[in-house]
Structure 1
Amino acid sequence: MLTRETPLMIAGPSGQLEALWLDTPDARGVALICHPNPVQGGTMLNKVVSTLQRTARDSGLATLRFNYRGVAGSAGSHDMVSGEVDDAEAVAHWLRAQYPELPLTLLGFSFGGFVAAALGARLEAQGLTTVNKLFMVAPAVHRLTEEYPPASNCPLTIIQPEADEVIDPQVVYTWSAALGRAHELLKVAECGHFFHGKLTDLKDLLLPRL
């Protein structure tokens, strides 16, 4: 199995977006991974994002992670609302062009959970790309609004640390309870936002569900 990602640049709405692409031979699907809050230093190299990428790889998916506008080598400036979702949409369409026949799995951590969920809703509305599964890890659910709703037609798994110091777990639990659609909520005991010492637990939860 190939394990080394290839650096590349993908055309985005505000310029080139820096990405890492793992083109897996005989891939059974593709995974797009969205990173945490860029204003607080989040990048595609975040250790939780790296764990999501490796887990998706180990499950037989081709993977792509990328930096939003204004992060590292990506052009543009932070938007923190629609701009990052626009970036993710451009990357998703690039992925679809590479593997138009394969199902797309979306994964997002923290702010990236919002981006992945909002992207999924856009793709569903366009009817161009079928979202196979959506994984939101310690997600910034307060950013999901009537204007930016989450995907509603694909299987959804939420993974929430119980000792999260960045995203209030109760906000996630309340949002989950009010969601009004079938989904899975997994709580990780004695775990903070960045999964210190718990990355193996995260992988163990993800792998059988991918």
Structure 2
Amino acid sequence: MPEVIFPGPEGRLEGRYHPQKDRDAPIAIVLHPHPQFGGTMNNKIVYNLHYAFYNMGFTVLRFNFRGVGRSQGEYDQGIGELSDAASALDYLQSMNNNSKHCWVAGFSFGAWIGMQLLMRRPEITGFISVSPPANMYDFSFLAPCPASGLIINGGADRVAPPADTTTLVSKLQEQKGITVTHDEVPGAGHFFSEGDQMENMIGTVSDYVKRRLTETSR
């Protein structure tokens, strides 16, 4: 999988780009957790999401937000990171002009950024939000949420408590025209790090995305 460097708002951004042979392949970007708490594109959940999408036939890009790894710039409270994500999507689209489907996936802080990107980019057809920190960040900008997607969290998450995630999902499910699916992995913490929790979470994500792709191809 080639390492790539592409232009961002504050200089270069470092990524991993995994293209399919099929020129019409759907595309996805994967966004990593909080840069100030050790979040990088090599986070285990981000890595596993990346390969899950690739194995389903997507051309995939994950990258480091500004100030992480070889990406230039400094942490910017989510504002600059949203611009980074937009630049990453621009880069991915520039090399995949024929793609009919565009997905965004994010973990924790990356889920918050991904949902904001969803509001800005009408071409995004689906989203995956893993462990969205609804207790720390305001998600009220999702009014209305423009695309259907999956929110998945751990039942024993102490970083982003399940009750806050359930409240967020309930608000989104009231909206017409889209379907927000919610799944909770029993006993899992924020990082799905015990036993087969990671496998279960990735399996749920894959089943959901495959179902959506089947529905849209009819």
Q: TM-score, normalised by structure 2?
A: 0.87
Q: CA deviation at 1:101?
A: 2.4
Partner of 1:67: 64
Relative to 1, partners in 2 of residues 1:61 and 1:188: Cα closer, same or farther, differing over 3 Å? same
Structure 1 residue 143 and structure 2 residue 137: aligned? yes
Q: CA deviation at 1:184?
A: 0.4
Q: Which amino acid aligns with 1:33?
A: V
Give percent identity, aligned residues only: 28
Aligned 8 A contact 1:49 1:109 in 2: yes
Matches within 5 A, 1:17-166: 17-26=13-22, 28-102=25-99, 103-124=101-122, 130-141=123-134, 142-146=136-140, 148-149=141-142, 152-166=145-159
Aligned 8 A contact 1:161 1:190 in 2: yes
Structure 1 residue 183 and structure 2 residue 180: aligned? yes
RMSD: 1.5
Q: CA deviation at 1:149?
A: 3.6
Q: Which amino acid aligns with 2:204?
A: L
Partner of 1:127: none
Distance 1:35 1:95 in 2: 17
Q: CA deviation at 1:177?
A: 0.9
Q: TM-score, normalised by structure 1?
A: 0.91
Distance 1:120 1:97 in 2: 18
Deviations 1:57-106 (A, max 9, x none): 11010110000001011000001221100000001011111112211110
Aligned 8 A contact 1:120 1:150 in 2: no
Relative to 1, partners in 2 of residues 1:63 and 1:79: Cα closer, same or farther, differing over 3 Å? same
Relative to 1, partners in 2 of residues 1:15 and 1:150: Cα closer, same or farther, differing over 3 Å? farther
Q: CA deviation at 1:151?
A: 7.3
Runs of 4+, deviation exceeding 3 Å: 148-151
Distance 2:125 2:144 in 1: 11
Relative to 1, partners in 2 of residues 1:151 and 1:58: Cα closer, same or farther, differing over 3 Å? farther
* Structure 1 gap segments, 5+ residues each: 125-129
Relative to 1, partners in 2 of residues 1:131 and 1:207: Cα closer, same or farther, differing over 3 Å? same
Corresponding residue pairs, total? 200
Q: CA deviation at 1:145?
A: 4.2
Distance 1:36 1:169 in 2: 18
Q: Which amino acid aligns with 1:83?
A: G
Partner of 2:192: 195
Aligned 8 A contact 2:112 2:139 in 1: no
Distance 1:144 1:28 in 2: 33
Q: CA deviation at 1:203?
A: 1.6
Relative to 1, partners in 2 of residues 1:192 and 1:105: Cα closer, same or farther, differing over 3 Å? same
